[in-house]
Structure 1
Amino acid sequence: MTDSPTIWTKHFAAAGDQMIFMGAFFRNIFRSGFEWNELIRQSYIIGYKSFSLVGITGFILGFVLTLQSEPTLKAFGAESFVPSMVAISVIREIGPVIIALICAGKISSSIGAELGSMKVSEQIDAMEVSGANPVQYLVVTRILASIIMIPLLTLMADALAMLGGFAASNISNEVNIQLYFSKAFSALGFADLIPAVSKTIFFGFAIGFVGCYKGYNSDRGTESVGVAANSAVVSASLWIIVLDAIAVQLTSVFAYN
């Protein structure tokens, strides 16, 4: 019983620190001297260097989903609905969430470890002493790069998932590629694409923000670098699940209204 107030106090203090950190991020977006070159460099690191991992994940996702669903639909004589089912499943829900979780493991941990090592080696303190703005240079650029690149990576993974589904469909049957994609996209509309893309923007913010917060506020010890990286992955993954649940509820409300 005596530990409960202490635990709640720590949670509220951590929430307050995150709100202050978020406020510093938004304030520094519009300040003069924005680091455009660093934003481009971070977009390259976050986007291009994640291309192969995300691409392979997307292709396998569509491939396996088709292999698993095709026998069941074939038993009911609904084999022609496989392309539509794969397209709707991947683009609406599975693609954005899986790719965001993959990126949380790769990008958020990398940002947390990088900023944590800079904190330990006092590079961030040196930037503050020299008159530089570490929040604008280190935090704003990484979060904005995540917001920009995560939706693009998700769209690329969705396209490769459709190719993976087409490849899986051709294992047992010979399917015309034009017919396959016409059936796949005929089941989709802007009402499916816009919510899916919109929530990846929030996923990107969560991935970048959590990684920057955990690394920027890590302790001084050398072991804190690993703690920051691990904590960033866990927290970012949790936020992705929570944001996805909220997005699904909002989509359902607007769809039925």
Structure 2
Amino acid sequence: MKEIFVEGRTLPETYHKALCTLKEKGSVIPCTDWNQQQLECAMTLYVTSPTEEPRISSLFIGGFHELQQYCMEMLDGLLNFRIGKGWDYTYNQRFSEFYDYVIKELKRNSETRRAVISIRDNKADTKEGADPACLQSIQFFIREGKLDMMVLFRSNDLPEATYMNAFALIMLQEKIARELGLDIGTYTHRSNSMHCYEKDFKLLDNYIKSINTKSREEISYNYKGDWEDLMKEEIPGILKFAENLKDKE
């Protein structure tokens, strides 16, 4: 499998480079589990300044409502009540149990390499009919006085999932950095199978067309003072949606 490294300063810059690189260098192979072809490579996205503006890419599935809800699911466990009721797990459920450990370990030794959260549950994820977690592990380092974060995915859908995954995980990185009184360092997002399904080949092409024909300002927006406010306005509706969903179960 091809190994590809993509580096950028901001999240949108790195993500946009990744879209173009997958199209240019990825291999088209069968994906028989989903009865289609896929474009695939092993890819690492390295973001040197993950909280620098602009932080928002317009090239992802959804908008400020969907991004806000996903962050609430990831950070706050918004839909954890669905576990055992159609869902086997959530990322929040799997990492929140070890959140305090990470804080304690990083405070114990700022040079530690042990601040790791394993998301994969081998007993659950290898059962017949299971929906195994794509995110496998999260690791934190304090280096040069800043909090670095590295995540590993076994599989990641670049045009449909990667941006929202990374945005929410960087929010988690910020949350832990605040508790430690540290600045944000780098964000590394590795997928052993970074891919685009055949059904999204046209979507990928359209994203790349936008990257090649539009200015950065047309496809990348500021989070602070712009999308942050728009996303916060969606919170009451998202909470109401979750409550209504809970009432129906």
TM-score when normalising by structure 2: 0.28
Q: Which structure features the higher share of strand residues?
A: 2
Q: Which structure features the higher share of helix residues?
A: 1
Q: Which has the larger radius of gyration?
A: 1
Which is bigger in relative contact order (C-alpha 8 A, separation at least 6)? Answer: 1
